[in-house]
Amino acid sequence: MAEHESGDLQLVGLSKRFGEFTAVHPLDLTIPEGSFFALLGPSGCGKTTTLRMVAGLEEPTDGRILIGDTDITHARAYQRNVNTVFQSYALFPHMSVLDNVAFGLRRKKDKDAKRKAQEALDLVQLGHTAAKRPNQLSGGMQQRVALARALVNRPDVLLLDEPLGALDLKLRRQMQIELKRIQQEVGLTFIHVTHDQEEAMTMADRIAVMNGGHLEQLADPTTLYEKPTSTFVANFLGQSNLLRARVTGSAGEGLARADVQGNEVVIDAAKVPDGLTDVWVGVRPEKLTLGESGGRNRLHGTVVDASFTGVATQYLVRTAAGADVVVVQQNDGSARAAVNENVTLSWEPGREFVLDAAQDDHAGMDEVA
């Protein structure tokens, strides 16, 4: 892979306006060479627009795009060593599958175009369809052809715009593993756009969460899940219980005292944003325990709903102050609660995250994920 040093992809203050409407607000991102990067966000948040700017299909309103030290902001699409797997596949209907895959290589006057294209087709397990027309293939197969067509060129950056959108769940999982394997094998930089949070978390090294044309948070999957920096991210990625709290003082040992609906709890002082007293204390459902064995912090309430999901049971508990809290309990033989039972919830200090109370606690909840 050391044929050419390509370097990191850098977006510097990149923005796009369509008339009055700003699709992408100034965006600063560095995507390390060879990484699997996911762009995650609800429908219409500007993911495709961002990709199109990187591909050279959309002129940025402002900002710069660099690969390594090379500024490609004003390079035409065909001059950039960047390839795209389009959301709509965009396969050429008048060419065979093989000719589709060989298209990029032939434009670059590659003598070995045919053989390489056949290899790329084999890689996505479609070697036997080489002579067919794209419209003779199923949606899932077409997506894999689109992937092969982009991959075969070994671009500096491969852009994937929801490449697995049309696949059923099983094939989707299979292709996720396959994609990840291919990426590690060829060592290209992948930018994978998706609005499936699970897909982003299982595949990517780093994830940028976008919302309404803004970058909400950029982190690795674990950090994103454990330490979301906004209520949008907390709600968009998995479930979160956001409890309104007031920080009342220090509890020593790096802990802070806080009042949650009349219950005194202690939280990790380092997680409290500087100088804030009105906060959301966020606890993920699986970090709460029914009963008192979970840790020092306690909440009290009544079970209003319990749903059995196999490995776990999900409870909805209404606290005395009227807040609904979701608890997920492993079905590991520990005691279970029934509806209408009064229960105590507990968690260990430090397993929570803390956000500014000025943020909307419903942000990102109704988004189509």
Partner 1 sequence: MAEVALGTGGAPARPRRRHVGWVPYALLAPGLLWLLVFFAAPMFTLGSQSLQEGNVFDGYVFTGNVSVYADALQKYWPHLLRSVGYAGAATVFALLLAYPLAYVIAQKAGRFQNLMLVLVVAPFFTSFLIRTLAWRTILSDTGPVTELAQRLHITDLLQAANLINNDTLLSSKFAVIAGLTYNFLPFMILPLYASLDRLDHRLVEAAEDLYASPFQAFRHVTWPMSLPGVVAGTLLTFIPAAGDYINSRLLGNTQTIMIGQVIDTQFLRVLDYPLAAALSFVLLLLILALVTTYVRRAGTEELV
| Contacting positions for Mg ion (CB under 5 A) | 48
- Single out the residue of 23, 102, 175, 204 in contact with ligand ATP (rule: CB under 6 A): 23
Structure tokens at 252: 């020593």
Binding characters for partner 1, 71-100, by CB under 8 A (x = yes): -----xxx---xxx-x-x-xxxxx------
Site stretch for ligand ATP (CB under 6 A), options 17-25, 71-79, 124-132, 265-273? 17-25
Assess 135 for contact with partner 1 (CB under 8 A).
yes
**In terms of C-beta density within 10 A (0-12 exposed, 13-18 middle, 19 or more buried), how is residue 165 classed?**
middle
Q: How far is the CB of 57 from partner 1 (least distance, A)?
A: 5
Look up residue 273 and give its DSSP letter: P
Q: At 313, which amino acid appears?
A: T
- Report which secondary-structure segment, H or E, holds 267: strand 263-268
Residue 47 in the binding site for ligand ATP (CB under 6 A):
yes
Q: Which of 48, 240, 241, 297 binds ligand ATP (CB under 6 A)?
A: 48
Q: Which residue has the tokens 């002129």?
A: 59
What is the number of alpha carbons within 13 Å of residue 194 lying toward its C-beta? 24
The partner in contact with residue 184, picked from partner 1, ligand ATP, Mg ion, none with C-beta cut-offs of 5 to 8 angstroms by kind, is none
Of 47 and 154, CB closest to ligand ATP: 47
Q: Which is nearer to partner 1, 55 or 204 (CB)?
A: 55
Least separation, in Å, of the C-beta of 224 and ligand ATP? 18
Residue closer to partner 1, measured from CB, 94 or 111: 94
The rounded distance, in Å, linking the Cα atoms of 233 and 243 is: 16
Distant-in-sequence, close-in-space partners of 334: CB < 8 Å, separation ≥ 6: 290, 291
**CA 309 to CA 313: how far, in whole Å?**
6
Report the residue number, 90 or 276, with the smaller CB distance to ligand ATP: 90
Stretch that binds ligand ATP, among 15-23, 77-85, 147-155, 273-281 (CB under 6 A): 15-23
85: β partners: 160
Nearer to ligand ATP, 41 or 221 (CB): 41
DSSP letters spanning 165-182: TTS-HHHHHHHHHHHHHH
DSSP state of 235: H
Quote the least distance from Cβ 86 to ligand ATP, whole Å: 11
- Give the residue with the Cβ less far from ligand ATP, 48 or 197: 48
List the one residue from 137, 191, 218, 290 that touches partner 1 (CB under 8 A).
Answer: 137
CA distance 217 to 207: 8
Stretch that binds ligand ATP, among 7-15, 41-49, 90-98, 287-295 (CB under 6 A): 41-49
Partner touching 311 among ligand ATP, Mg ion, partner 1, none, CB below 5 to 8 Å by kind: none
How far CA 3 is from CA of 154, 155, 158, in Å, comes to: 10, 11, 16
Q: Lay out the sheet containing 206-211: strands in order across.
A: 82-85, 157-161, 189-194, 36-40, 206-211, 214-219
Of the pair 43, 250, the CB lying nearest ligand ATP is at: 43
Q: Which of 30, 1, 31, 25 is nearest to 13 (CA)?
A: 25
Residues 29 to 68: which contact partner 1 by CB under 8 A?
55-57
- In a 13 Å sphere around the CA of 69, the CA atoms on its Cβ side amount to 1
> What does the binding site for ligand ATP look like in residue numbers (CB under 6 A)?
18, 21, 23, 41, 43-49, 195
> What does the binding site for partner 1 look like in residue numbers (CB under 8 A)?
55-57, 76-78, 82-84, 86, 88, 90-94, 103-104, 107-108, 132-133, 135-138, 149-150, 153
